[in-house]
Amino acid sequence: MLSRRKHRVVRDALRDGAWIRDLRGRVSPDLLDLFVTFRSLLGLAELSPEVRDTFTWRFSADGGYSAASAYRLQFLGAMDSPLIPIIWKPWAAPRCRFFAWLVVQNRLMTADRLLARRWPNNYFCPLCMRSLETCMHLFVECPHARCIWERVAVLASAHSLDPATWGTPARTIDWLGGLSAGLPAAEASRVRSWSLLVLWQIWLERNARIFRQASSSVATTMAKINDEAAAWDLAGAKIFPPRE
């Protein structure tokens, strides 16, 4: 693209450094570096006058370019994200999945983050009014939230949702992943759906307290969770344990 002589063969371009004189327009330092590397690699190759230059696409077996191989190239070196089985695969309302994705990345505007930006905040967790509101506190450490989780564990017949089994995870992603760790696939999927549903309901209760000065008891929140779970079940979530 940068050469004025697009049809010059590589062998002629290399003769007496002709390729440098062919360059036009602005050449960035990065691009120049690439040219020099390319030139030194070519110095290792033996160029024969009888053989014409050809383009080779090294990301396919036959050296030919295809849209499919270019598509696969985008994922070269990509790692399987731990968020896929925990957040994106289980049955859940899309808003709950997206919300959980914000939680594990600590992207919610909880008091600690507002404080760090010197933005107005209430400092205390609105559920217990005892500790600084952080993401980890609100969903995992808060006594009010733990009371909800304890009851959810009973409602869902899922022992791993009981805070008594949790330990002290360092990050919310470790905690969320731990809820379904080691469970058979169907049970893990069910527990993950519950976790996404409850995270969202805790956040709704938190917002009602902050923005509408309306607070619900644990029993009322549980009734909302039960209704939401029943709606998910009707929609095909298989969130309740299979009947014996």
DSSP state for residue 160 in the 8-state scheme: G
Tokens of 7: 């049809």
Return the number of the residue (108 or 142) whose C-beta is nearest Zn ion: 142
Residues in a beta bridge with 124: 132
Stretch that binds Zn ion, among 106-114, 120-128, 186-194, 197-205 (CB under 5 A): 120-128
135 binds Zn ion (CB under 5 A): no
Return the number of the residue (142 or 156) whose C-beta is nearest Zn ion: 142
Binding mask 155-174 for Zn ion (x = CB under 5 A): --------------------
Return the number of the residue (59 or 123) whose C-beta is nearest Zn ion: 123
Stretch that binds Zn ion, among 18-26, 118-126, 169-177, 196-204 (CB under 5 A): 118-126
Q: Which residues contact 76 (CB under 8 A, 6 or more apart)?
A: 59
Residue from 13, 125, 152, 222 in contact with Zn ion (CB under 5 A): 125
Stretch that binds Zn ion, among 12-20, 71-79, 142-150, 170-178 (CB under 5 A): 142-150
Tokens of 154: 């009973």
d(CA 129, CA 210): 11
Tokens of 71: 């598509």
Q: How far is CA 95 from CA 24, 99, 157, 215, 234, in A?
A: 52, 6, 24, 22, 18
What minimum distance in Å lies between the beta carbon of 142 and Zn ion?
3
The amino acid occupying position 210 is I
In the complex, the residues that contact Zn ion under the rule CB under 5 A are: 125, 127-128, 142
